[in-house]
Amino acid sequence: MSKILIGRYISGNSLVYKMDPRGKLLATIFFILIVFMANNPLSYLIVTVFSLVAVAATKLKPKIFWDGVKPLIWLILFTSFLQLFFTVGGKVYWRWTIFAVSSYGIENAIFIFIRFTVIILISTVMTVTTMPLEIADAIEWILTPLKLIKVPVDKIALVMSIALRFVPTLFDETFKIMNAQRSRGADFNNGGLITRAKAVTPLLVPLFISSLETAIDLSTAMESRGYRGDDGRTKFRVLKWSKYDLVNLGYFAILIVLLLVFRTH
């Protein structure tokens, strides 16, 4: 469990940390979209350099990012190999029945590999430098226009921040119950698929009960502190744009200009 990096915040104090979460979230989404604009070796080089600079700007240890890529490495390699063996065209180096290694194949495999890696790197930059609650605030801000079509954005935001708040609590609770059941002989790691599925009952039933109880307690506590669920609540955590966000904006503006110039049409 300790190896999974998605959604984990690691404290730090570099430039990237000072950026507004809204800017970072938009930049991440934007980056994932424009990566697909790259279509020749030079443009892929630009994308790679830009994401590596972003990684370096966090001033975190490279190992953290390697941990982010590691769980997905098989998927990346698998996709790259598919590209390598099944792309037709260009100079053919090797052929066996339906498999063929061609110059196009090699090129495509490398492109896919880079595409995957940089997307994971940039998403990791976003998640390790932004606290989950900040991400929730950023999502709320992005959803604000939906208010026009009567989407209850405030409530969605509340649900999101409560959900995020309880992720660690539920994790702790899960581990505690698991340990308690292990202590009285439950076995979560052995046996076939069906045995294991059955072994989850002593874990899931208490977990559901405790989640429901927590929900009831929390809603009572919220009501007793004056929450009514209607409009007119003020905001305590206010996000502010700063000069650092101009860096963010400028950085991606340069990236998109370079990509537009150097991609082949």
Partner 1 sequence: MSIKFEKVGYTYSPGSPLEKKGLDDISFELKEGSFTAIIGHTGSGKSTLMQHFNALLKPTEGQIEIAGTTITPETSNKNLKQLRKHVSLVFQFPESQLFENTVLDDIAFGPKNFGFSEEEAKESARSWLNKVGLPDEISERSPFELSGGQMRRVAIAGVMAYEPDILCLDEPAAGLDPRARKQMMNLFSEYQKAGHTIILVTHNMDDVANYADDVLVLEHGKLLMHDCPDQVFKNRAWLEEHHLEEPKASLFAAQLENFTFAKPPLTKRDLVKEIEKNLKG
Interaction site with partner 1 (CB under 8 A):
2-3, 10, 61, 64, 67, 173, 176-177, 179-187, 189-190, 201-202, 205-206, 209-210
The SS3 assignment for 242 reads: coil
Contacts 24+ apart (CB under 8 A), 180-185: none
Residue 169 beta carbon to partner 1: minimum distance, rounded to whole angstroms? 12
Enumerate the β-bridge partners of residue 95: 100
In the complex with partner 1, which residue's Cβ is closer, 4 or 257?
A: 4
Residue 197 beta carbon to partner 1: minimum distance, rounded to whole angstroms? 15
In the complex with partner 1, which residue's Cβ is closer, 40 or 179?
A: 179
Give the integer Cα–Cα distance in Å for 214 and 208: 10
Give the integer Cα–Cα distance in Å for 51 and 118: 6
In the complex with partner 1, which residue's Cβ is closer, 6 or 180?
A: 180
Residue 182 beta carbon to partner 1: minimum distance, rounded to whole angstroms? 6
In the complex with partner 1, which residue's Cβ is closer, 88 or 212?
A: 212
Give helix then strand counts, H and E, for the chain. Answer: 11, 2
Residue 195 beta carbon to partner 1: minimum distance, rounded to whole angstroms? 13
In the chain, the N- to C-terminal Cα span, in Å, equals 45
